[in-house]
Amino acid sequence: MINIETCLTPEILSLHQLEGKIAVVTDVLRATSCMVAGLNAGVKSVIPVMTVEEALDYSKKGYITAGERGGVKVKEFTIGNSPQEHMQEEYHGKDICMTTTNGTVAITEAKKRADQIVIGALLNVTVVAEFLKSAQKDVVIICAGWKGNPSLEDTLFAGALIDRLQEECNLTDDASFMALTQYKACKDNLVESIQFNASHAKRLSGLKAKSDLAFCAQEDYCDALPILRNGEITI
């Protein structure tokens, strides 16, 4: 049996033991959805970094810069935080350096302690579950949240993942049980649940953002399994 716990916000990550475990990091709107969709489409690798300055340093080495601050594309970057941008043909075979408000921070914190970092999104939730079943190590699901607060869409990812592992796992904390309840309550209309109830969805305005949300709320769009190896995320 796999022991699973869920960290609803990186603010309490220090309370979770990660050593010897697999950390699944998610930021459904939109950092990890970008990574999954981009790598699946043909991006070669994604390097997550904490700061805009680090990303600009990578751009000098030929990396495509991507990411946002407060939901808005960083002015000096090539692309923002929309999965559609990351999937464009011109970035196939390219290396992207990415920094976002919540998602890349969670990855950076987790990699200091976890045995392995897997990038999860609703887009690839089943393949992540299959990987965890085969790995048979304990798991911490790390939700990026929004500026320290728990977020509905990341909690729904945690619940969706747990739902797929149910017969093979023990939920070792209350957050995991609550994530599963949330997913079961919303799974028949994920897009609407996120659109009408997630505060993050309310922050995303405009047509493009709405189509991003509908895209990111799809379960199992692909079977890409991005894993962090030596600071680089690849599939």
Site string for its own copies, 13-42 (x = CB under 8 A): --x---------------------------
148 binds its own copies (CB under 8 A): yes
Identify whether the C-beta of residue 54 lies closer than 8 Å to the C-beta of residue 99: yes
Phi, psi dihedrals of residue 227, rounded to the nearest 5°: -130, 140
Q: Which of 147, 203, 208, 229 binds its own copies (CB under 8 A)?
A: 147
DSSP 150-205: --HHHHHHHHHHHHHHGGGEEE-SHHHHHHHHHHHHHGGGHHHHHHHH-HHHHH--
Q: Would you say 70 or 93 has its CB closer to its own copies?
A: 70
State the number of binding residues for its own copies (CB under 8 A). Answer: 28
Site string for its own copies, 190-209 (x = CB under 8 A): -------xxxx---------
Rounded (10°) CA dihedral 151, 168, 112, 15:
60
Instruction: Report if residue 106 touches its own copies, rule: CB under 8 A.
Output: no
Check residue 178 for interaction with its own copies (CB under 8 A): yes
Decide: helix, strand or coil at residue 136: coil
Name which of 166 and 197 has its Cβ closer to its own copies: 197
Q: Which amino acid is at 158?
A: A
Which residues lie near its own copies (CB under 8 A)?
Answer: 8-9, 11-12, 15, 146-152, 155, 172-175, 177-178, 181-182, 184-186, 197-200
